[in-house]
Structure formats: structure tokens, C-alpha cells
Amino acid sequence: MKHLYAGYDGQAIMEDLTFDIGKGEIFVILGGSGCGKSTVLKHMIGLVPPVSGQVLIHGQDMVTARGKARTRLLQQIGVAFQNGALFGSMTLLENIMLPMTAFTDLSDDAAKTLALAKLGLVNLNRNSHRLPGELSGGMRKRAAIARAMALDPEVLFLDEPSAGLDPLTSAELDRLIRDLAQTLGITFVIVTHELESILTIADNTIMLEKETRGIIARGHPKDLKADPENEYAYRFFNRNPGKEMIS
Amino acid sequence: MTELHIKQTDTGLAYMFSGRIDAGGIAGIWDRACNGLAGHAGAALTLDLSGVTYFDMAGAALIVHLERIARDGNQDTVRMTGLDKSAATLVERVSQTDLAVPAPARAGGRIRRMVENQGRGLGEFWQDAKTFISFFGELCWFFFAGLLRPGRIRWKETLRVAEQAGVNALPIVALISFIVGLVMAFQSAIPMKMFGAEIYVANLIGLAMVRELGPLMTAIVLAGRSASAFAAEIGTMKINEEIDALSIMGLEPVRFLILPRVIASTLMTPLLTVFAILVGILGGAVVILSMGHPFSAYYNQVVGFVTWGDFVGGMIKCFVFGVLIAATGCIRGYQTRQGPSAVGEAATRAVVSSIILIAVFDGIFSIIYYVLDVGKIRLYK
């Protein structure tokens, strides 16, 4: 990301964001509610054009790419949206098969086998015939990750993967992300403010702040947790709701 | 470029892969790779990946799939060569997955399922009828309670709905009624002209619009426009748990949401019908004027033929249609289930149910009017 001004309709809500994400890294974008994390993510996946700046994937700018170049870039990334965004009228298997049949010449049988392999990664191959509406929240999130991985992308973007999940399911999802990153070497870019998740999975983070309209901290979460210099980040990582309530 | 060479060796078969083994690449070799194993039971299979330049999960799925086909076909010796560490990890990972689609549980044979489906359909119909009746009872209760204490009715919301369902529907009602009047006059004028009786087209148009077509066309337009809108609006509120929130706050959803819609629809349907009748008759007038008859002749024919009995009969129908449209739309919205297509389904069911009920009640009214001889006054004229 180079000198990115994030926002809508020419109005920047985040200014001059520059950061790099290494291959195979689990990179977390942090920040308070409404600071613009999801907007930055939308710019990164090419859903909304930024006010200005560049989003480079292997040196190719996602912002200016058009036509086939853009399609090639989009095939290198996968996105799992906050609510899964699975197609409700299709079974899980059909959801995963959709990008495969749309972008390759795979036969139905071949696409089915590949889709089952993806569902197996997230431990949902036994539920491949079910509709998304028949699944729990955690299963839907896992299915969304499987669909995002349909074309073996190099970078996987996850928007609030733990939102609305109980701590155990959330921890299970964290393990899955770690496992996928290690096994498949996928780079993960995750927008979240779930403290437990960040401390468990993140290799690198940036913290955005609404007031300063930029990055106020960056680095490994354990370093940020131990660094009292940056007051906001320190408070974020060392919050103790119990103590605050008592005081 | 993905390539596959299949070679027959002394001990069995050798599959030699080269190039990119990803989803796009394997599309061209999948069928050949799978079919190539047929007729080689007992032969050893070697999967050679030394010429592969890129290998991802799609490739791993193909390798595992081939290995399983081979083992199912009694090819007990399957050997893989040329796999680097990451490719081996991927293959290992995919091999832990069952790649067969689980069959959905289905009990019984076709006849049993057919009987079950019919029974389920009948049960749903019965449940639907019960819901409709109890809902209508609740609605009547709140309506009469509202008459005793008019302050409890949300008049502002009622006016808003009346504007949306009534005033905003004027253009479409006008267009359809005008065209119906015009077309009917044209069609009937052809045979009537043969007898020199084309002025009696006015009688036909007047009677048909006032007694039947005016109320019916207006009701069908409103069923398509307002019933679906009510169902979608209330269905969305149901999905967003707004209706649950109302209940928890102690605000009865029927009084708060549905009563204003039913009152607005019941009041607006007759007004729209009067408008539709006038515009429809005007459509007929255009045809008669084009045939050289003066407007006064057309007017006198209509006014002299159509009675107040016809008009009142048509208006009574409208009130009932208005209640049916609003109540059906709201009930279907209230019955909205979860899921992305639920609101759409609720709106469709609202339109279909409204039109069926309008047709059924129109038939009932026709029988009642026939028995009561509503046209009697005119017949003796």
C-alpha cells in the first residue's frame, strides 16, 4: 500500500497510509469502531476506488488495473466477508464450485472434487449438500473462507472473521487460519478488533485511529502490548474491563 | 502450460505431469487422467511430478483423486515421485478429506415421499387458513377497539400509507382503466355496429366498469402494488427483529403496524375504484365520439342505464377487496422466514394469495348479487 488516501467521493477518512505485507504473513488491521478499517479493506480488494494512492499486489496496481489485468489480480486474492456472503439458494458445494466453473474449464466432476477438498480444509465436507441457512454462524464463516480459497489465491482477506462468534468457535477459527497459513503459505489480511484473535494469530499489525486519520502503531502485537510509549495501542492491548468497572 | 504424458511401463502405468498444476491447468487433463486408469486393474501407478513448475491445492486434489481411483481399481501400488516438501504437505492435507459428496438423507420410496408432500401441503394449507382467521379476528378486535378510542390508531402512519398505496397508485390505475374501457368499447362496437346499436356500447361499458371491471382491475393493481409492498416492508422488519422489539416494548404489532395499513387500504380502494370507473367510462367515450356520436348521448346512455344499486354493489366489493389486500400482504409479511430470499418469497405469496382471494370473493359477490337481484331495478325499467 503506497500513500493511500482512503475514503469515499473524494473525501479522505484515512490519509497517507503506507505499509507492506510479507508473503505468508498474517497481517491484522486494527482500530476502533468507525475508524475506517473496512474502508481500507474495500480499497485493498478493489471494491471501492480510493481517493488516491496505490494498492500493489506483486507490483501491479489494483486501483488502476482494468479488464483482463484486473481479473488476473482478482484471481490472486480471496475475500471472506463479515457475514459470509454465501449465496443462500446454493448448497455449500455449489457456492465453492461457482468461481471454479466461472474462471476455469473444469468439468463439473472435477470442480466438485476440488470444492470438496476445499470444504475438507475447513472441516465442512460432510455438510457440502446443505444450504447456508442451515448452518451455524461459525460454519458459515468457515464456508466463506473455503469459497474465498476456491481458486487457491495467494492473499486472503477476512473482514471481522470472529464477529458474532462465541469464544470457543472464535478460537477454533483462529486455529484454522494459523493452520491454513502454515500449510498452504497463504497471506492473510484480517480486519478485526478481537484482542484474543490478534494476540493468537497476528504476525504483524497496523493500528488505525480516527482522530489522527492514519496509522498510529505498527508491529507485532506482543511488542505493541509491551510498549507504553504509544498510549492508545497500549490501552487497547492491556484493557481490563473488570478493573475499569470496579474503578 | 500443463501437460500430462501417460506411459505404459513394464510394471504398470506412469503419469508424467509438467507445467502448472493449478485449477486452470488441470481442467484440460482431468478427464484424460481419470479415464486413463480404466482397464489397468492390478497394475502399478507412478505419479511423476518432477516436471511441475507450480503446484497448489487443485493439483493436490487431482493427485489424491487419482490415487483413490487407482486403489478402488485394485492398483495397490501407487507411487509418487518428484514432490517437493510443500507439495507433499498439500497432498497429505487433501488425502485426509473425504472427496465423495454425502447423499442427503431420504427416507422411503417415491410414492411415500409423494404422499408425505401432499400431506405436508394440506397441513400447511390448514395451518395457513387458521392463521388467516385468527389474524383477521385479532385485526377486527383492534379495529373496533380503535373505533372506541380513535387516539390509539396511528393516523399519521395511516395517512402515509394511504398516500403511498392510494395517491401514488393513481397513474397506473388510470392507465389500465382507460385502456380497458377503450379496448372493451372497440371490441364490442364491432358486432353492435352490425345491428346499428353501437350507442349501446355506452350501456355495456357503464355497467361493466361500475359493477365488475372497475373494482376488479383496481383490486388487482393494488394486489400487485400494495400487497407486495406491505409484505416486503413487514417481512424486512421481521428479519431485522423489529417486530420482536415492538412486542418486547409492549406495543402490539397488529395495532402498531397492520391496522394503519388495513385502514388506509380499505379507505383508498373505493376511492381509487371510483376514479377507475370514471376513467374507464372516459376510455369508452373516446371510441363512441370517434364513431360520430355526441358526448351527451354517451352520457345519457350511461347515466340512464347504470343504477345506484350497481354502484353500491361495486363499492361494497371494493371495501372487502381493500381489507383482503392489506390483510393478506401484512400476514404474508408477518410469516416471513429467515434467509436472503425470504422477503421476495413473502411478497410473491402476498400477490398470489391476494389475487386468489379477490377472485374467490368476486365470485361469491356475483352469486350474492344474483340471489338478491341487484340488477332487478334496471331490468324492469
3 state SS for chain A: CEEEEEEECCEEEEEEECCCCCCCCEEEEEECCCCCHHHHHHHHCCCCCCCEEECEECCEECCCCCHHHHHHHHHCEEEECCCCCCCCCCCHHHHHHHHHHHHCCCCHHHHHHHHHHHHHHCCCHHHCCCCHHHCCHHHHHHHHHHHHCCCCCCEEEEECCCCCCCHHHHHHHHHHHHHHHHHHCCEEEEECCCHHHHHHHCCEEEEEECCCCEEEEEECHHHHHHCCCCHHHHHHHCCCHHHHHHC
**pLDDT score of A245:** 46
Q: What percent of chain B has pLDDT over 70?
A: 94
DSSP 8-state class, residue B220: H
Residue A118 and residue B96: Cβ atoms within 8 Å? Answer: no
CA atoms of A240 and A225, how far apart (whole Å): 13
Residue A133 and residue B58: Cβ atoms within 8 Å? Answer: no
Q: Which residues of B43-66 are buried (b: 16+ CB within 10 A; e: fewer)?
A: bbbbbbbeebeebbbbbbbbbbbb
Beta bridge partners of B19: B52
DSSP 8-state class, residue B82: S
**pLDDT score of B220:** 95
Residue A121 and residue B97: Cβ atoms within 8 Å? Answer: yes
**pLDDT score of B104:** 62
Residue in B31, B97, B101 closest to A117 by CB: B97
Which residues 6+ apart lie within 8 Å of B158 measured at CB? Answer: B260, B263, B264
Strand order of the β-sheet with A11-17 is: A11-17, A2-8, A52-54
**pLDDT score of B376:** 56
Residue in A105, A112, A117 closest to B28 by CB: A105
Binning pLDDT at 50, 70 and 90, where does residue B107 land?
Answer: low
CA atoms of B162 and B170, how far apart (whole Å): 12
pLDDT digit string (tens) for B305-360? 888 888 999 999 999 999 999 999 999 998 888 777 889 999 999 999 999 999 99
According to DSSP, the β-strands at A77-80 and A214-219 are unpaired
Residue A133 and residue B338: Cβ atoms within 8 Å? Answer: yes
Instruction: Compare all CA atoms of chain B with the CA of A102 and give the residue at the minimum distance.
Output: B24
Mean pLDDT by 10 residues, chain A (247 residues): 88 90 91 86 89 89 86 87 83 91 88 92 88 87 91 91 83 87 89 86 91 89 84 79 48
Residue in A126, A133, A185 closest to B102 by CB: A126
pLDDT digit string (tens) for B41-71? 777 888 899 888 888 889 999 999 888 888 8
Tell me whether A101 touches chain B (CB under 8 Å): no
Tell me whether A191 touches chain B (CB under 8 Å): no
Binning pLDDT at 50, 70 and 90, where does residue B108 land?
Answer: low
CA atoms of B142 and B150, how far apart (whole Å): 11
Residue B340 and residue A88: Cβ atoms within 8 Å? Answer: yes
What is the nearest CA distance from A164 to chain B, expressed in angstroms? 16
**pLDDT score of B251:** 79
Residue B101 and residue A128: Cβ atoms within 8 Å? Answer: yes
What is the nearest CA distance from A191 to chain B, expressed in angstroms? 25
B255 in Cβ contact with B152 (< 8 Å)? yes
Strand order of the β-sheet with A155-159 is: A77-80, A155-159, A187-191, A26-31, A204-209, A214-219
Residue B23 and residue A104: Cβ atoms within 8 Å? Answer: yes
Which residues 6+ apart lie within 8 Å of A184 measured at CB? Answer: A149, A152, B56, B57, B90, B93
User: Which H or E run contains B124?
Assistant: helix B110-148
**pLDDT score of B350:** 95
According to DSSP, the β-strands at A56-57 and A60-61 are antiparallel
Separation of first and last alpha carbons in chain A: 41
Tell me whether A109 touches chain B (CB under 8 Å): yes
Beta bridge partners of A206: A29, A218
Residue in A88, A112, A151 closest to B23 by CB: A151
According to DSSP, the β-strands at A26-31 and A187-191 are parallel
Tell me whether B28 touches chain A (CB under 8 Å): yes
CA atoms of B177 and B213, how far apart (whole Å): 8
Chain A residues close to B97, C-beta within 8 Å: 116-117, 119-121, 125
Tell me whether A183 touches chain B (CB under 8 Å): yes
CA atoms of A180 and B78, how far apart (whole Å): 27
Residue A106 and residue B86: Cβ atoms within 8 Å? Answer: no
- The answer to whether the complex's ipTM is over 0.90 is no
Tell me whether B30 touches chain A (CB under 8 Å): yes
Residue B57 and residue A116: Cβ atoms within 8 Å? Answer: no
Q: Which amino acid is at A61?
A: D
Chain B residues close to A150, C-beta within 8 Å: 23
- Give me B35's grid cell: 479415464
Residue in A88, A120, A183 closest to B341 by CB: A88
Tell me whether A68 touches chain B (CB under 8 Å): no
Residue B339 and residue A133: Cβ atoms within 8 Å? Answer: yes
- Give me A10's grid cell: 473524494
Cβ-based burial of A153 (10 A; exposed 0-12, middle 13-18, buried ≥19)? buried
Residue in A89, A110, A185 closest to B30 by CB: A110
Give the DSSP per-residue string, B89-122.
Answer: HHHHHHHTS--SPPPPP--S-HHHHHHHHHHHHH
Query: What part of B 44-63 touches A (C-beta under 8 Å)?
Result: 56-58, 60-62
**pLDDT score of A211:** 87
Q: ∠ CA B264-B213-B282 to the nearest 5 degrees?
A: 95
DSSP 8-state class, residue B80: E
**pLDDT score of B185:** 93
Residue in A104, A105, A114 closest to B61 by CB: A114
A117 in Cβ contact with B60 (< 8 Å)? yes
What is the nearest CA distance from B89 to chain A, expressed in angstroms? 7
Residue A121 and residue B65: Cβ atoms within 8 Å? Answer: no
Residue B94 and residue A117: Cβ atoms within 8 Å? Answer: yes
Tell me whether A133 touches chain B (CB under 8 Å): yes
With a cut of 90, say whether residue B259 has pLDDT above it: yes
- Give me B2's grid cell: 500443463
Does this model's pTM top 0.80? My answer is no
Instruction: Compare all CA atoms of chain B with the CA of A93 and give the residue at the minimum distance.
Output: B101
Q: What percent of chain B has pLDDT over 90?
A: 44
Give the DSSP per-residue string, B275-289.
Answer: HHHHHHHHHHHHHHH
Which region, left, alpha or beta, applies to residue A16 given φ > 0 means left and ψ of -120 to 50 means alpha?
left
Strand order of the β-sheet with B44-55 is: B3-8, B12-21, B44-55, B78-81
Instruction: Compare all CA atoms of chain A with the CA of B337 and give the residue at the minimum distance.
Output: A133
Residue with cell 472441516: A123
Q: Supply the mean pLDDT for chain B.
A: 88
What is the nearest CA distance from A22 to chain B, expressed in angstroms? 18
Q: ∠ CA A52-A56-A59 to the nearest 5 degrees?
A: 130
Residue in A113, A133, A185 closest to B99 by CB: A113
Tell me whether A8 touches chain B (CB under 8 Å): no
What is the nearest CA distance from A64 to chain B, expressed in angstroms? 25
